[in-house]
Structure 1
Amino acid sequence: MEGVVHMEFLKQGQTVNSERDISTLLALKLKLRRVRLDKDAILQHDNARPHTSHQTQKALRQMELTTLPHPSYSPDLAPSDYHLFPQFKKYLKGHHYDNDEEVIADVRRWCRGQSPEFFADGVRQLVKRWRLCVDCDGDYVEK
């Protein structure tokens, strides 16, 4: 709730598949262990294939990473989608970059500049959204 623990950037032309997802999860697990959050961390994945593949699910069990289930028809339960990215898009409006490294540096700078309260607010919104989702038997979609 206090901030971003791990960030990775794909190079142009790369895509996320199970192998890449597992590699990211391993890196995340190591960072969580370093900041002593690995026992309390709960991951939230959507239903994208790399997250739901047999290989990824097996790796999650082996790494003992707890994952919050994601209802099939509720695409708006990820705090990155409804909280983080909309705010970041507002920040990016009007910015121009000469190369990928400038973009990456600015993304990192912006994320580090957000207060713990900013991230906690996104999680508090998640609790509200989950309640609505449960009340609608998993058919909740924010409009």
Structure 2
Amino acid sequence: MTEQKKVLLSVWWDYKGIVYFELLPPNRTINSDVYIEQLTKLNNTVEEKQPELTNRKGVVFHHDNARPHTSLVTRQKLMQLGWDVLPHPPYSPDLAPSDYFLFRSLQNSLNGKNFNNDDDVKSYLIQFFANKNQKFFERGIMMLPEIWQKVIDQNGQYITE
């Protein structure tokens, strides 16, 4: 029996699709330094793929309140990039489109799958993302106001649907 290991996926997406993703090397966790490296790579990808956003300072960024996301150096990096950051109330994971939308779909597609190595995982992810059309990603982003309203209506409680 082979030992199962987990792979950490970091992914950024918008209403058009996946902007950038990476798999963290084994035994590496996300801290502020790693997150800033990722934000730099993300910004380079945005400049390359969607220059219209960086030219008019149109990046509106949403992430949760994990420590690496809220650290001083991360906030400074985001300010340096000139991105508008949407506020994320504490203890509200339901508000992240990746949690309520993208990862749910990905998890369903991964059920029962095993991979031999990280390259196989990456290939699978590339294929998974490529098979989602723009309407899929658009729907995930457009659901955001509705999800936020549900959280407000439930006084910040988790959404259990």
TM-score by length of 1: 0.92
Q: From the superposition, tell whether residues 96 and 136 of structure 1 become closer, same or farther in structure 2 (CA, over 3 Å).
A: closer
- Cα RMSD for the two superposed structures: 1.4
Superposed, 1:3-22 pairs within 5 Å as: 3-22=17-36
TM-superposed CA distance for 1:7, in Å, is: 0.7
Question: Could you tell me which residue of structure 2 aligns to residue 102 of structure 1?
Answer: 120
* Structure 2, gaps ≥5 residues long: 1-14
Unaligned ranges ≥5, structure 1: none
Aligned with 1:7: secondary structure? strand
Distance between the aligned counterparts of 1:115 and 1:41, measured in 2? 22
1:65 aligned to 57, 60, 83, which one?
83
The structure that is strand-richer by fraction is 2
Identity %: 36
Match of residue 159 from structure 2: 142
Q: CA deviation at 1:41?
A: 2.2
| Residues 6-40 of structure 1: CA deviation (Å, up to 9, x unaligned) | 11110110000001111111111111112223332
Are 2:58 and 1:44 aligned? no
* Deviation for aligned residue 1:135: 4.5
- How much has 1:129 moved relative to structure 2? 1.2
Amino acid across the alignment from 1:89: Q
Give the counterpart letter for 2:40 in structure 1: L
- Of residues 46-55 and 124-133 in structure 1, the stretch that sits farther from structure 2 once superposed is 124-133
Aligned mates of 1:12, 1:122 — CA distance in 2: 29
Q: What is the CA-CA distance between 1:117 and the residue it aligns to?
A: 0.5
Residue 10 (structure 2) pairs with residue 31 (structure 1): no
- Distance (whole Å) between structure 2 residues aligned to residue 62 and residue 96 of structure 1: 40
* Contact 2:65–2:90 (Cα < 8 Å) also in 1: yes
Q: Which structure would you say has the larger RCO, counting Cα contacts within 8 Å and 6 or more residues apart?
A: 1
Once superposed, which parts of structure 1, at least 4 consecutive aligned residues long, lie more than 3 Å away?
Answer: 133-137
TM-score, length of structure 2 as denominator length? 0.82
Q: Which moved more, 1:91-100 or 1:112-121?
A: 91-100
Amino acid at match of 1:31: T
Quick check: 88-97 or 47-56, which moved more?
88-97
